[in-house]
């Protein structure tokens, strides 16, 4: 699993973020963290891979809320998680390695374990900066 993920994810991450990381410290941190995951995915004590039969109408609408609930429950118990779906660029290799049938879709890989280093409440932008009213870009004061 670690080898498959590294082979697929590393080039995608570098291609997507490397140039911006040179001038944006936040992007540089994101890239470093993502590359760390590439190199250490196989060390996670648990890798969860949510799946659903192919062809279910809007399966994502059920799968991703379940993933969020799982991740929140893990966090409440002191476990760290992250969600990645970069493996889907070569989903066939992952399915082959795990014996997942062709007619089943994988949606993510979620490593679960005890976090290293600093781990606290996630930083959030103020609500007024991420909420629009009535139309894109409008604030509550505009309506």
Domains along the chain? 2-142 (3.40.109.10)
List, for residues 45-87, the tens digit of each pLDDT value: 999 999 999 887 788 888 999 999 999 999 999 899 999 999 9
Three-state DSSP class for residue 39: helix
Does 139 have pLDDT greater than 90? no
Beta bridge partners of 111: 47
Nearest to 12 by CA among 80, 92, 64, 90: 90
Contacts of 96 (CB under 8 A, 6+ apart): none
Q: Is the pTM of the predicted complex or chain greater than 0.85?
A: no
List, for residues 19-42, the tens digit of each pLDDT value: 999 999 999 999 999 999 999 999
Contacts of 34 (CB under 8 A, 6+ apart): 9, 13, 17
CA 84 from centre of chain: 3
Task: Let me know: does 109 contact 41? Beta carbons within 8 Å.
Answer: yes
Sheet holding 110-113, edge to edge: 46-48, 110-113, 80-81
Strands 80-81 and 110-113: antiparallel
């Amino acid at each position: 699993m670690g080898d498959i993920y590294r082979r697929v994810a590393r080039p995608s991450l570098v291609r997507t973020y490397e140039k911006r990381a040179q001038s944006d410290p936040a992007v540089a941190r994101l890239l470093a963290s993502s590359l760390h995951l590439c190199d250490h995915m196989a060390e996670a004590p648990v890798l969860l891979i949510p799946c659903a039969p192919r062809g279910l109408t809007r399966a994502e609408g059920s799968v991703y809320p379940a993933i969020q609930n799982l991740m929140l429950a893990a966090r409440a118990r002191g476990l760290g998680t992250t969600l990645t779906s970069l493996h889907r660029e070569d989903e066939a290799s992952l399915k082959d390695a795990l014996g997942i049938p062709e007619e089943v879709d994988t949606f993510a890989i979620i490593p679960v374990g005890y976090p290293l280093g600093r781990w606290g409440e996630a930083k959030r932008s103020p609500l007024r900066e991420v909420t629009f009213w009535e139309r894109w870009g409008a604030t509550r004061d505009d309506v």
